[in-house]
């Protein structure tokens, strides 16, 4: 039986899953992904994680619970940086994630907690992959081939997103070799839905917001659907960047959606207890107000969030905009 490795279906999953799934499979491991987030995942996470953790971190613990008795190894990288932007790193919870999980949970399988710090140079990821290959008995050429295949998998995934699929649809299409096409976007309104990928694309965390908005006649665009070079152009226009990778992406996307696309409204999904979002949420609100006069709503999710309350606010927001535009 091949050695198995578990990848939690949250946090960095939506950004880098094709890379790691391809890499581990190509060096001979069986990759097991945790189940979709559910109430049970949240309950398990709340039980295991420290009390003052944000909800995505609690949910991450729940995904680890789902995997821990089914795999030989669990993959929890220490994400430090993924691009060479001066001073950019990940939120401190990402930096300490392997330690947080180790300190809170018992009976874990062996943990692969490689430190990923791409600011160290262009060859850093290759060096990390060579280390991992060596650890699992793969030779240089096998590991190098796995590296290039992973790179190609990420390019395929990005290409699918650029056809108009959101990352969830793109992952489904990539993983199951499906030919999904972007929906006909003939909707009355266009909204930018902003936030961290693990909130924007996890149907449980965001209470299936995408489906609800579509049923209300709203087309959704997200930060990941902006071509990377255009996002980079927005980054260069900023007088100063924030410290955190995903936060920067949200801020750059806000600027792009206000100035280049002129969306009808902006929704920010934020998690209760998120330190960086205390600043990011205000920045989006002020940018939307002063630079584009774009209506903005912030939805805060926590473990007690009621679907009814969020839905009522969403409906009111959409209704207000339709009236403003003479559509209702």
Output 75 or 198, the one with its CB closest to ligand SF4. Answer: 198
What's the sign of the alpha-carbon dihedral 124, 126, 127, 133? positive
Minimum Å gap between C-beta 298 and ligand SF4 is 14
> Binding of ligand SF4 at residue 271 (CB under 6 A)?
yes
Contact at 8 Å (CB) between 141 and 148? no
Here the tokens at position 171 are: 């992952």
Output 91 or 299, the one with its CB closest to ligand SF4. Answer: 91
Minimum Å gap between C-beta 91 and ligand SF4 is 3
> Binding of ligand SF4 at residue 276 (CB under 6 A)?
yes
Output 221 or 271, the one with its CB closest to ligand SF4. Answer: 271
Position among 9, 21, 63, 93 found at the interface with ligand SF4 (CB under 6 A): 93
Stretch that binds ligand SF4, among 32-40, 256-264, 268-276, 320-328 (CB under 6 A): 268-276
For residue 4, what are the contacts with CB-CB under 8 A and spacing of at least 6?
Answer: 29, 30, 31, 32, 70, 71, 72, 73
Minimum Å gap between C-beta 248 and ligand SF4 is 11
> Residue 79, SS3?
strand
Going by C-alpha positions, the residue among 13, 7, 8, 62 that lies closest to residue 30 is: 7
Stretch that binds ligand SF4, among 122-130, 167-175, 272-280, 285-293 (CB under 6 A): 272-280
CB burial readout 61-79, b (16+ within 10 A) else e: bbbbbbbbeebebbbbbbb
Position among 157, 196, 256, 317 found at the interface with ligand SF4 (CB under 6 A): 196
Please give the full DSSP string across 8-34, using - where no structure is assigned.
Answer: -SSTTHHHHHHHHHHHHHHTTPEEEEP
Gap between the Cα atoms of 46 and 120, Å rounded = 35
Output 264 or 277, the one with its CB closest to ligand SF4. Answer: 277
Position among 65, 193, 267, 274 found at the interface with ligand SF4 (CB under 6 A): 274
Interaction residues for ligand SF4, span 279-298 (CB under 6 A) = none
Output 18 or 195, the one with its CB closest to ligand SF4. Answer: 195
Output 20 or 244, the one with its CB closest to ligand SF4. Answer: 244
Stretch that binds ligand SF4, among 29-37, 49-57, 66-74, 100-108 (CB under 6 A): 49-57
Output 113 or 188, the one with its CB closest to ligand SF4. Answer: 113
Output 171 or 200, the one with its CB closest to ligand SF4. Answer: 200
Total binding residues toward ligand SF4, as defined by CB under 6 A: 11
Gap between the Cα atoms of 297 and 32, Å rounded = 37
> Residue 109, SS3?
coil
CA 191 to chain centre: 18
> Binding of ligand SF4 at residue 56 (CB under 6 A)?
yes
Contact at 8 Å (CB) between 11 and 118? no
Output 22 or 247, the one with its CB closest to ligand SF4. Answer: 247
Q: Checking DSSP bridges between strand 4-7 and strand 30-33, what pairing results, if any?
A: parallel
Minimum Å gap between C-beta 113 and ligand SF4 is 16
> Binding of ligand SF4 at residue 275 (CB under 6 A)?
yes
> Binding of ligand SF4 at residue 54 (CB under 6 A)?
yes
CB burial readout 123-139, b (16+ within 10 A) else e: eebeebbbebbeebebe
Minimum Å gap between C-beta 57 and ligand SF4 is 5
Output phi, psi for 224, to 5 deg.
-65, -20
Instruction: By CB under 6 A, name the binding residues for ligand SF4.
Output: 54, 56-57, 91, 93, 196, 271, 274-277
């Amino acid at each position: 039986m091949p050695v198995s490795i578990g990848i939690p279906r949250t946090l960095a999953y939506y950004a880098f899953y094709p890379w790691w799934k391809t890499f581990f499979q190509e060096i001979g491991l069986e990759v097991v992904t945790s189940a979709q987030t559910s109430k049970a995942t949240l309950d398990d996470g709340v039980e295991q994680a420290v009390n003052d953790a944000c909800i995505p971190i609690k949910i991450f613990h729940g995904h680890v619970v789902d995997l821990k008795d089914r795999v030989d190894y669990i993959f929890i990288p220490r994400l430090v940086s993924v691009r060479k932007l001066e001073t950019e790193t990940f939120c401190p919870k990402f930096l300490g994630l392997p330690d947080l999980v180790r300190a809170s949970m018992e009976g874990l399988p062996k943990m692969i907690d490689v430190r990923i710090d791409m600011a160290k140079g262009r060859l850093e990821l290759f060096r990390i992959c060579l280390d991992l290959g060596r650890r699992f008995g793969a030779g240089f050429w096998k590991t190098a081939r796995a590296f290039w295949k992973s790179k190609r998998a990420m390019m395929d995934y990005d290409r699918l997103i650029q056809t108009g699929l959101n990352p969830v649809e793109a992952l489904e299409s990539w993983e199951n070799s499906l030919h999904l096409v972007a929906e006909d976007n003939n909707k009355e309104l266009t909204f930018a839905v902003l936030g961290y990928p693990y909130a924007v694309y996890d149907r449980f965390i965001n209470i299936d917001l995408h489906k609800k908005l579509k049923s209300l006649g709203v087309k959704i665009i997200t930060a990941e659907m902006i071509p990377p070079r255009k996002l980079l152009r927005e980054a260069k226009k900023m007088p100063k960047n924030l410290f955190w990778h995903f936060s920067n992406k949200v801020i750059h996307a806000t600027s792009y959606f206000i100035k280049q696309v002129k969306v009808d409204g902006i929704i920010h999904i934020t998690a209760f207890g998120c330190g960086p979002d205390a600043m990011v949420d205000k920045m989006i609100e002020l940018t939307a107000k002063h630079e584009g006069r774009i209506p903005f709503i912030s939805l805060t999710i926590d473990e007690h969030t009621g679907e009814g309350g969020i839905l009522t606010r969403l409906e009111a927001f959409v209704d207000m905009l339709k009236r403003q535009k003479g559509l209702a």
